């Protein structure tokens, strides 16, 4: 993030904490797409996801002076809050249980499009997403959070409610499995898993 961007973020955040509605809209617009893209992979009902997002932002606004969020980790905070909201909804629909502690996470990754030719994109995307769908639920969600949402390992661990070491293992195993699957499909994607932020 550039210095000027950091200054803007801090100015908007301070204004938001003071109750400025335009600054609240700034953060809403900054993160709404990422939240919707993540939420729809947990719960297919778009209206429910939109309602959950509205509740998350309303809660953020009402508790702006007491929550522990900061502008640099706000996306993580919102993703975590959204997941908790959606799990509550799934529990009401009896689609999530404490015994399995699993959600039917539906992957649709964009990372593979970085190094493929346009004329091959549709077919290769289909094949890769098919391969990724074979991974265990937690691995699918872990690599999505790490590579698509650029969360740190500590943040991925908190969203998945596992230890940081477990998060690293989940991602390592996922990458290893995908590499093996890609090799069997004769697809060489050495840049497939390049995170959007520095590792921790």
Q: What is the pLDDT of residue 114?
A: 45
Burial status of residue 31 (CB atoms within 10 A of its CB: 0-12, 13-18, 19 or more) = buried
Looking at the 3D structure of the chain, how many domains does it have? Answer: 2
Q: Could you tell me if 12 and 85 lie in one domain?
A: yes
The reply to whether 47 falls in a domain is yes
Q: Are residues 10 and 77 in the same domain?
A: yes
pTM reported for the whole predicted model: 0.68
Instruction: List the CATH number of the domain containing 124.
Output: 1.10.10.10
Angle 154-155-161 (CA atoms, 0-180°, nearest 5)? 90
Q: Is residue 120 part of a domain?
A: yes
Residues 75 and 123 in one domain: no
Structural domain range at position 11: 3-92
Write down the mean pLDDT value for the chain. 80
Residues 128 and 80 in one domain: no
One domain, residues 88 and 11: yes
State whether 147 and 82 are in the same domain.
Answer: no
CA 89, 50, 160, 64 torsion: positive or negative?
negative
Three-state secondary structure along 37-86? HHHHHHCCCHHHHHHHHHHHHHHHHHCCCCCCCCCCCHHHHHHHHHHHHH
Residue with tokens 């661990």: 157
Please report the pLDDT score of residue 124 as a whole number: 66
pLDDT for the residue numbered 104: 66
Same structural domain, 116 and 41: no
The percent helix, strand, coil of the chain (3-state, each to 5) is 65, 0, 35
Please state the φ and ψ torsions of residue 116, each to the nearest 5 degrees. -120, 150
Tell me, yes or no, whether 46 lies in a domain: yes
Question: Is there a domain that residue 51 lies in?
Answer: yes
- Give the largest CA-CA distance in the chain: 56
* pLDDT value of residue 2: 54
Burial per residue of 36-67, b for 16 or more beta-carbon CB atoms within 10 angstroms, e otherwise: bebbbbbbeeeebbeebbeebbeebeeeeeee
Going residue by residue through the chain, which has 200 residues, state the pLDDT in tens, using 9 for 90 and above.
555 577 889 899 999 999 999 999 999 999 999 999 999 989 888 999 999 999 999 999 998 888 777 889 999 999 999 999 999 988 887 655 454 455 666 655 554 444 444 455 666 667 777 777 888 888 889 988 988 888 999 999 999 999 999 999 999 988 888 777 777 666 554 444 444 444 44
Do 82 and 120 have their domain in common? no
Domain membership flag for residue 199: no
Instruction: Please give the pLDDT value at position 1.
Output: 55
Cβ-based neighbour number of residue 106 at 10 Å: 16
189 domain residue, yes or no: no
Tell me: do 88 and 125 sit in the same domain: no
C-beta of residue 170 within 8 angstroms of C-beta of residue 138: yes
């Amino acid at each position: 993030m550039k210095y000027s961007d950091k200054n803007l973020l801090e100015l908007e955040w301070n204004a938001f904490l003071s109750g400025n509605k335009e600054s609240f809209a700034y953060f809403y617009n900054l993160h709404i797409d990422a939240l919707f893209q993540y939420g729809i992979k947990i719960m297919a009902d778009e209206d429910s996801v939109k309602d959950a997002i509205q509740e998350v932002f309303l809660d953020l606004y009402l508790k702006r002076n007491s929550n522990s969020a900061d502008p640099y980790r706000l996306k993580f905070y919102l993703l975590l809050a959204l997941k908790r909201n959606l799990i509550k909804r799934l529990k009401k629909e009896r689609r999530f249980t404490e015994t399995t502690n699993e959600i039917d996470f539906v992957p649709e990754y964009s990372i593979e499009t970085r190094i493929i030719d346009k004329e091959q994109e549709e077919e290769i995307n289909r094949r890769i997403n098919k391969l990724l769908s074979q991974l265990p639920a937690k691995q699918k969600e872990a690599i999505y959070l790490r590579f698509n949402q650029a969360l740190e390992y500590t943040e991925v661990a908190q969203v998945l409610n596992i230890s940081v070491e477990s998060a690293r293992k989940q991602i390592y195993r996922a990458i290893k499995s995908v590499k093996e699957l890609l090799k069997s499909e004769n697809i060489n994607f050495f840049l497939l898993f390049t995170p959007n932020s520095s590792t921790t």
